[in-house]
Structure 1
Amino acid sequence: MRCPLCHLLIALTLLCNVLLLYYTWHLNSRPAGRLSPSPALSPGITVIVREFRTFEHGLADLNHSFLRARPSLQILIASEAPPYPPVPRLHVVRLHPSPEQPGSAVRLESHIHTRLVALVPDGTSLDPSDLLDRMARALRDAPSGVRIVAAGAGGPLRCLHLNVSLRAWTAEYRAAVAGETCGAVGGPAVLLMRSRDLFDLPFPLSRPLRSAIFIQSALRGWGVKILEGAKFPRTPLPATDHGRWKDEQAERAEEAATMRALSVRLVRGPEGDRWYGCSKDTPRCFGTVVGETPEYLYEGRWTPPCCLRALRATMAHVIKTLEASNVRYWLEGGSLLGAARLQDIIPWDYDVDLGIYLEDVGLCPELRGAQGGSLIDSEGFVWERAVEGDFFRVQYSQSNHLHVDLWPFYPRDGVMTRDSWTGHPQDIEFPETFLRPLQTLPFAGVAAQAPNNHLELLKLKFGERSIEEPEYPNPAVLRMG
């Protein structure tokens, strides 16, 4: 009897080993990085309150209003820090990780279990009680491209068109025309969207919330539908003068941080332009250029607009200074090419080039001062002799090294030459007849001196079809397209 029992035990042991091997193989054969399917979301709406200030808010009243109208609602207060003083019976979701919490605590998927989510600003009341249901039906019945439904919170909404160009680092708003799908809305609003769409956004609850949501949704081609004839009652908060001042200060800082995170340096809209890039007091937006190819080109982007603005300002200042000193100058290299193509700096260029007559250097006090080191002029521009060669450089400021290069040429046997060359293919000698006389070309908002017959000079420097066929500065490293 013992022998059959031994056989049975051996067979069971072998079966367990086979099952263990199969289970191990199954786990290891799953594609790398593949996540387990998310649990199914249940019907209903989760309310998230993100737009509030911890120092002055109406969260208790909002919570009471929504739960009185819809007792089954889940209301989440999303914040980096909990309100102070604490408010009882609020479900606060901490957006910043804390060492005593699990990593899942900061993920929205851990807190939202409904198919829809409503983003509600502080001070809002739910009246009438079916408003959220009406928004849900509007989202259900909307065309496939519409992923967000908006209803006014305290006032009407404006339908806006929003174009976001990551290549140009720019978000541009304008009033939508009749029949055009909204890309954003103007005015405080309650936004309803599918929870999975919110989960899909890399910055789902960045502040200012509406700006961050709309820029990310525009990049995905999502439309916004305004629920006509619907408006949530809302009391604007903060209500005190000091609270509003603190709110404005905080929102400016939040917006700057969010725009930088979203790679937006310029926001254009009906109220004017808002800049979020470099300035005279900050470094420029990119580091040292290697191989004539700035780092942003590798990312499929062109020169940040704040950098182009600084280059235009520096160039205008340099031209004004040279003309005041009777220094003969002209647009050189890629800057002359930009004037011929666009009457502006080439959108992916990172400096401005001007040629000057070497014998005129002594006429300009700033250039004379730069010969012995560097000089900071009365407007904060830095004039210096370049360390890379025998030429001059004018920087936007001590902190921001966006610059104009001044290349000293002199005539020799009727040919313009110089003592320092960079090795660029277009960096060549050329007949002085191109400079006698000089002409004026519009360039980056000013009238700049340029070689006569400049199209022929550009063909000599860059090739026959250099104007018609744009290319990046160093095609051997990176080609356009």
Structure 2
Amino acid sequence: MRLKSYKSCLFLVVLILFKILMFYFVTRLISSLLENTIEENLVKPTMAIPRKKLSEQITIIMREFEPHENDVSLTSQSFTNLFATMQQYIMYDEFPYPPLDIMLNNDTSSSVKFVKLSPELRLTYKDIYPLNNILTKYVLFVPDSTRLSSRETLQHMVNKLSSNPGSIIAAATNNRKYDLNCLRMIINTREWMLKFDLVKSTNCHAVIGKHVILMETELLQRVSNAFLLPFPHSLYLQTASLDLKVTIMKGLSFHEGKPLFRSHHSQWKQKQAEVSRLKSLYNVFKIKRVVRETGLTEWYGCTKDTSRCFGTILDSMPSYLYEKRWTPPCCLSNLRKTARHVFNMLDQNGVRYWLEAGSLLGAMRNGDILPWDHDVDVGFIREDSSRCEWLKKAKSRSVVDTKGFLWEKATEGNFFRVHFSKVNKIHVNLFPFFSKNGTMARDSWYTTHKNMEFPENFLHPMSSIEFVGRNVPSPNNIRDFLELKFGKGAIEIPEYPDPNKLKFP
């Protein structure tokens, strides 16, 4: 009897549970039908997108390695061990020799690809510049001899970048606190200059020290040439010009791989390659002066042994003015040296001279050459030319003096030029004047130097003015002298030689 009663109770409980479940599912079904009916008349909500795997979000790029000595194969394997299907690009300009182990053992199905960036016959632009083939949201630049030991490391970097879109994330290859330094980059294209400042921050324009870089592929596509060497300096130069910032993440588990460049010869070879690449990079982006964070100034422009940084000048308008640049700083430096040398030679030989035209205008404004000027103009008394042996010799032929400066007679008029060297033709113009009816006149008409004649009383007596670091003779009443030649307000508002030619979009 008890057993029968127990079975009845159990049956009743099961029946109640069944009815509860049926009521729940019927309720959910009705609710779903109502939602679908409403959605037909309203904008449908955005569907949740499944989170992609890291291997589908990131492409690895190895650009920073030396062909003659590297740890590329093991660095690549370190990432493949954790992310077997993550796309990797190993990029180089010249075929690495000896060949990389990973190249010899690689097959077509591998996720590791090799890209030669330098032009070659039968290779298309797409072949040598693969950025358009990268379909992932992010790219990870990995320096040579780096190891990844944890998947979470990349996830942390992705999370950081996701919360700071439009930035660049950097992480050191070890966990020591002060390995990376943050730099601010000041790029002055008009003055051909790059300046670095060390900043006490984890957010800046560039990072020095060995590190891994994560950035959005879309951001990488904004720079003009993403894979120039030396890397990553070339990348930071381009992103800094866009005022893009780098954030340093600390405490992540990237590690050093095999030690490299342990012999003196390999260190020397690597250093020579770095110097050559820097010179090439600055030449591409027209940077002539670099001021390091230490205060050291490096010059990447012309010298006595190289041609000047601009070509033939037409109508007194150097080509760089059309590029919205001023005179390259190396040219200004060489021009100052040439001017000081000429002044010394004229002083030593008792030649009466004075600062002329645009050079006098620059002296009045800031005691220096106008920042867009390409020569220095000096007037002198014609009868004094016999006092200087170099002027006498230059009347008949070009001559190089004991300091390596070239003296010659100009081809377009009866005046002289003194060049920085026989190769580098940055120069000082020497114009001979003589007195004629109270006017300082010149021998012939110079089409490139107009309005040069002036009343003789501007030289009686002479004055002096600070110019290129020394006192130089000048006419008296300098303001009246300059306004006679250039018009009212010339000192306060100097103009380019022909400003109308620069009025283009």
Q: TM-score, normalised by structure 2?
A: 0.81
Residue 424 of structure 1 deviates from its aligned partner by: 5.4
1:232 aligns with 254
- Correspondence 1:87 to 2:100: yes
Find the partner of 1:456 among 471, 480, 483.
Answer: 480
Larger radius of gyration: 2
Q: Distance in 2 between matches of 1:158 and 1:284?
A: 36
1:279 aligns with 303
- Correspondence 1:202 to 2:215: no
Residue 80 of structure 1 deviates from its aligned partner by: 1.3
- Correspondence 1:183 to 2:196: no
Q: List alignment gaps of at least 5 residues for structure 2.
A: 1-53, 104-112
The one-letter amino acid paired with 2:217 is S
Structure 2 CA distance for partners of 1:333 and 1:273, relative to 1, 3 Å: same
Return 206-215 or 445-454, whichever deviates more: 445-454
Contact kept? 1:414, 1:431, Cα under 8 Å: yes
Residue 72 of structure 1 deviates from its aligned partner by: 3.5
Residue 57 of structure 2 aligns to a residue whose secondary structure is strand
Contact kept? 1:158, 1:186, Cα under 8 Å: yes
Q: Distance in 1 between matches of 2:453 and 2:234?
A: 51
1:257 aligns with 280
The one-letter amino acid paired with 1:373 is R
Q: Distance in 2 between matches of 1:434 and 1:161?
A: 50
* Percent pairwise identity: 39
Aligned residue runs from structure 1 range 67-86, under 5 A: 67-86=80-99
Q: Distance in 2 between matches of 1:232 and 1:447?
A: 60
Structure 2 CA distance for partners of 1:190 and 1:438, relative to 1, 3 Å: farther
Structure 2 CA distance for partners of 1:410 and 1:230, relative to 1, 3 Å: farther
Structure 2 CA distance for partners of 1:411 and 1:245, relative to 1, 3 Å: same
Return 322-331 or 63-72, whichever deviates more: 63-72
Contact kept? 2:182, 2:201, Cα under 8 Å: no
Residue 101 of structure 2 aligns to a residue whose secondary structure is coil
Q: Distance in 2 between matches of 1:428 and 1:313?
A: 25
Find the partner of 1:168 among 179, 184, 191.
Answer: 191
Aligned residue runs from structure 1 range 8-19, under 5 A: none
Residue 456 of structure 1 aligns to a residue whose secondary structure is helix
Q: Distance in 2 between matches of 1:109 and 1:255?
A: 23
Aligned residue runs from structure 1 range 440-479, under 5 A: 440-478=464-502
Query: What do the CA deviations read for 1:431-474 (whole angstroms, capped 9, x no partner)?
Result: 22222333332222232222222112111111111112121112
The one-letter amino acid paired with 2:169 is V
Return 67-76 or 48-57, whichever deviates more: 67-76
The one-letter amino acid paired with 2:439 is V
Structure 2 CA distance for partners of 1:113 and 1:410, relative to 1, 3 Å: same
Query: What do the CA deviations read for 1:380-411 (whole angstroms, capped 9, x no partner)?
Result: 11001111111110011111111110111122
Residue 433 of structure 1 aligns to a residue whose secondary structure is helix
- Correspondence 1:149 to 2:177: no
Query: What do the CA deviations read for 1:127-161 (whole angstroms, capped 9, x no partner)?
Result: 4443332222222222x6x5212222356211111
2:64 aligns with 51
Equivalent pairs counted in the alignment come to 438
Residue 425 of structure 1 deviates from its aligned partner by: 7.4
Query: What do the CA deviations read for 1:213-236 (whole angstroms, capped 9, x no partner)?
Result: 112112212112122344732355
2:118 aligns with 96
Residue 340 of structure 1 deviates from its aligned partner by: 0.9
> Structure 1 runs of 4+ off > 6 angstroms?
none
Q: Distance in 1 between matches of 2:267 and 2:133?
A: 31
1:62 aligns with 75
Contact kept? 1:43, 1:116, Cα under 8 Å: no
Contact kept? 1:291, 1:477, Cα under 8 Å: no
Q: Distance in 1 between matches of 2:452 and 2:348?
A: 28
The one-letter amino acid paired with 2:290 is V
Query: What do the CA deviations read for 1:247-290 (whole angstroms, capped 9, x no partner)?
Result: 11111111111111112122111241222222211111111111
2:233 aligns with 211
Residue 81 of structure 1 deviates from its aligned partner by: 2.4
Return 320-329 or 470-479, whichever deviates more: 470-479
The one-letter amino acid paired with 1:137 is N
Q: Distance in 1 between matches of 2:186 and 2:491?
A: 28
Two-structure CA RMSD over aligned residues (Å): 2.3
Residue 130 of structure 1 aligns to a residue whose secondary structure is helix
1:378 aligns with 402
The one-letter amino acid paired with 2:347 is E
Q: Distance in 1 between matches of 2:251 and 2:101?
A: 35
Residue 337 of structure 2 aligns to a residue whose secondary structure is helix
Contact kept? 1:124, 1:233, Cα under 8 Å: yes
1:427 aligns with 451
Structure 2 CA distance for partners of 1:75 and 1:479, relative to 1, 3 Å: closer
Residue 120 of structure 2 aligns to a residue whose secondary structure is coil
Residue 344 of structure 2 aligns to a residue whose secondary structure is helix
Residue 126 of structure 1 deviates from its aligned partner by: 1.9
The one-letter amino acid paired with 1:134 is H
Residue 375 of structure 1 deviates from its aligned partner by: 0.9
Query: What do the CA deviations read for 1:304-355 (whole angstroms, capped 9, x no partner)?
Result: 1111111111111111111121212211110001111121111111111111
The one-letter amino acid paired with 2:255 is P
Residue 175 of structure 1 aligns to a residue whose secondary structure is strand
1:121 aligns with 143
Residue 481 of structure 2 aligns to a residue whose secondary structure is helix
Contact kept? 2:395, 2:409, Cα under 8 Å: yes
Contact kept? 2:193, 2:289, Cα under 8 Å: yes
1:324 aligns with 348
Contact kept? 2:168, 2:247, Cα under 8 Å: yes
Q: Distance in 2 between matches of 1:328 and 1:232?
A: 70
Query: What do the CA deviations read for 1:137-195 (whole angstroms, capped 9, x no partner)?
Result: 222222x6x5212222356211111111221111111123669x511122232222111
- Correspondence 1:107 to 2:107: no
Structure 2 CA distance for partners of 1:365 and 1:425, relative to 1, 3 Å: closer
Q: Distance in 2 between matches of 1:415 and 1:370?
A: 26
Return 159-168 or 380-389, whichever deviates more: 159-168
2:3 aligns with none
Residue 204 of structure 1 deviates from its aligned partner by: 0.8
Structure 2 CA distance for partners of 1:436 and 1:191, relative to 1, 3 Å: farther
Contact kept? 1:471, 1:479, Cα under 8 Å: no
- Correspondence 1:354 to 2:378: yes
Contact kept? 1:361, 1:367, Cα under 8 Å: yes
Residue 250 of structure 2 aligns to a residue whose secondary structure is strand
